[in-house]
Chain A
Amino acid sequence: MTVEVARRPRRKGGGAVAIRSLFWRLPWLRTTVLLAPPLAWFVVIYIASLVLLLITAFWAIDPFTTKMIQAWNLDNFRQILNEPTYLRIIGRTVFMAALVTVTDAAIAFPFAYYMARIASRRVQTILFAAVLLPLWASYLARVWAWILILNHSGVLNWSLQAFGAPPANVAYTDVAVWIVFSYIWLPFMIIPTYAALERVPESLVEAASDLGARRWRTLRDIVLPLALPGVVAGSIFTFSLTLGDYITPVLIGGGTSFIGNVVYSNIGIANNVPFAAALAMVPIGIMAIYLIGAKRLGAFEAL
């Protein structure tokens, strides 16, 4: 680039103007110069890491030194596919992710509907802020809050007792994991659903009712299909984030393992990076399939 600049006759104002005019004449050059640092960061660090992850999944570790050795083999994958324990863990994780996604969609849709189509402008702003707060409030803090609520002498059992109901021992079970995941990812579902519902043209809803459709018919045949991409967009987050999380199961679960837990213990305790890498391919594969499906449903246009 400097060579290019030097060759051109210098004008008043020196190098800065020359570079500026060069960028003006060659817009692709400006784009390239600006894009180089962030793109380099992503390619050199992130993409390289992901590719390396894929490669190490086919390696092994020396059982004595726990050093990675580049012995190409399929043992890690064979172990995952042949041992019923791992298949059960994968099944349980996918089921949990699906359950959390459905729960969040069911909670979020009426809320987002009210926000987008009934509430006044002012209420809309307040509700939006009310969703933003828990969305950003510390993840660990919110898990801890649920431990305080669900534990034996927590808020929930105290409230149940006040109504004369028997105590519920929810803490440290899979039910607690389900509640906490649904709670934590709920804002991720509300926001895109709300955005999609807000974009449904009022004229279509009016046309439907002019043509004699009742409220529910309009909802089912007009609003729901048009809002679906938003729900699917939200589900990418609820599904994907549940799929890889190990913090919530460790802190409030009943000791059952999810994919994330096994990956975590293989890095932290066993230091078996190749096996962890192979196992990490499972959520990547599932998400790849999920994203292709989401694209078909138009979720990326809703993003």
Chain B
Amino acid sequence: MSETLTRFALRAWVALVLLFLFIPIVVIFLYAFNSSKIEAWPIEGFSMRWINVTLSDAEVVSAIRLSVEVALVTTLLALILGSCAAFAIHRTTFFGRDAINFLLVLPLALPGIITGVALHAFFDYSGILLSVATIVVGHTTFCIVVVYNNVLARLRRTQGSLIEAAMDLGANGFQTFKDITLPLLSTAIIAGAMLAFALSFDEIIVTTFTAGAQNTLPIWIFAQIRNGQRLPEVNVVVSLVILVTIIPVLIAARLTGGGGASRVPAAK
């Protein structure tokens, strides 16, 4: 095959894959504005009808509120624990360092159902009733790693000489941290927080096993699709979830130059 033909074929392939990736997402947004009650293609007409219905559905609103609350608390916990781990691992070599790396990635690499069932068994055995708190515990466990990855990557790229210079010039530990270390890390920390929020907001499997009677937004969506109820509202809610998960990720990608938001650990 000649070179130009290969290039052409590759280009066509890339175009097809992009269509494959994006058609479903476009379809969802179109259906959110569907005026009909039925999910049939082509869409009969566009209206704000279902958007209004959905936003005044008390069940949806309370599910949104719960999901936001859980994601916020999870993000805060993941920020503290993930940053601690990154600072500890950075610039120290000790026995078991790789093991800790592996341990932190594990909840994201193992099927969610394992983490979910394990936590369920743990709470069941310890007599802890499933509640909002147990959902947060589950979410935090797999969100720590995204903060950790981002902060660690930035720490590795930060020059130690800047910190040494600050201290040589008479800054104390706190001043150095506040004026040098933190500003250097801030975008990585924000990126980590954005990703943790998005990851938590959309999570369903671990949530299913760690929630009691609480309905987070993904649990509400799953139940509606499964029972075939309020599907026009599902269209709207699902579009909303896409926006809420994608916007923080775009911000994170901007702040870290793309690499930080790869979710899959792609580069060391």
Contact = CB atoms under 8 A, between A and B. Distances in A.
Interface string B108-134: 011111110111111011000000000
B218 A140 contact: yes
A148 B205 contact: no
A36 to B, nearest CB: 8
Interface stretch (B35-43, B52-60, B182-190): B35-43
Contact of B25 (A31, A35, A115, A142): A142
Contact of B88 (A20, A34, A125, A264): A34
B21 to A, nearest CB: 5
Contact of B109 (A139, A151, A236, A263): A236
Contacts of B262: 132, 135, 191
Contact of B268 (A111, A284, A303): A303
Interface in A251-287: 251, 260, 263-264, 267-268, 273, 276-277, 280, 283-284, 287
Contacts of B239: 141
A50 interface: yes
A49 B121 contact: yes
B258 interface: yes
Given A13-B172, A277-B121, A287-B110, A41 B21 contact: no
Given A38-B85, A247-B205, A280 B10 contact: no
Contacts of B81: 37-38, 41
B205 A110 contact: no
Nearest to B221: A140
B63 interface: no
A41 B121 CA distance: 17
A78 interface: no
B133 to A, nearest CB: 12
B87 interface: yes
A149 interface: yes
Contacts of A142: 24-25
A191 B205 contact: no
Interface stretch (A2-10, A81-89, A153-161): A153-161
Interface residues of A, number: 98
Given A37-B81, A136-B198, A111 B13 contact: yes
A144 B225 contact: yes
A52 B121 contact: yes
A132 B140 CA distance: 22
Contacts of B85: 34-35, 38-39
B246 A137 contact: yes
A245 B21 contact: no
Contacts of B249: 132-133, 136
A303 B100 contact: no
B50 interface: no
Interface residues of B, number: 93
Contact of B92 (A31, A240, A251, A287): A31
A226 interface: no
B23 interface: yes
A17 interface: yes
B181 to A, nearest CB: 13
A96 interface: no
Interface string A49-75: 110110010000000000010000000
Contacts of A107: 17, 20
Contact of B234 (A114, A144, A303): A144
A132 B248 CA distance: 12
Interface of B: 1, 3, 6-7, 10-11, 13-14, 17-18, 20-25, 27-28, 31, 38-42, 80-82, 84-85, 87-89, 92, 94, 100, 103-104, 106-107, 109-115, 117-122, 124-125, 137, 140-141, 144, 148, 172-174, 198, 202, 204-205, 208-209, 218, 221-222, 225-226, 234-235, 238-239, 241-242, 245-246, 249-250, 253, 258, 261-268
19 contacts: A16-B173, A17-B173, A31-B88, A38-B81, A38-B144, A41-B141, A42-B144, A49-B122, A53-B118, A107-B20, A133-B246, A138-B218, A139-B202, A139-B204, A153-B40, A154-B41, A191-B264, A240-B110, A276-B117
Given A48-B122, A137-B246, A141-B28, 15 more contacts: A31-B88, A35-B85, A37-B80, A47-B103, A127-B14, A134-B25, A135-B263, A135-B264, A140-B204, A140-B238, A144-B235, A195-B267, A247-B222, A263-B117, A280-B117
Interface of A: 13, 16-17, 20, 27-28, 30-32, 34-35, 37-39, 41-42, 45-50, 52-53, 56, 68, 107, 110-111, 113-115, 118, 125, 127-149, 151, 153-155, 157-158, 183, 186-188, 191-192, 194-195, 215, 233-234, 236-237, 240-241, 243-247, 250-251, 260, 263-264, 267-268, 273, 276-277, 280, 283-284, 287, 303
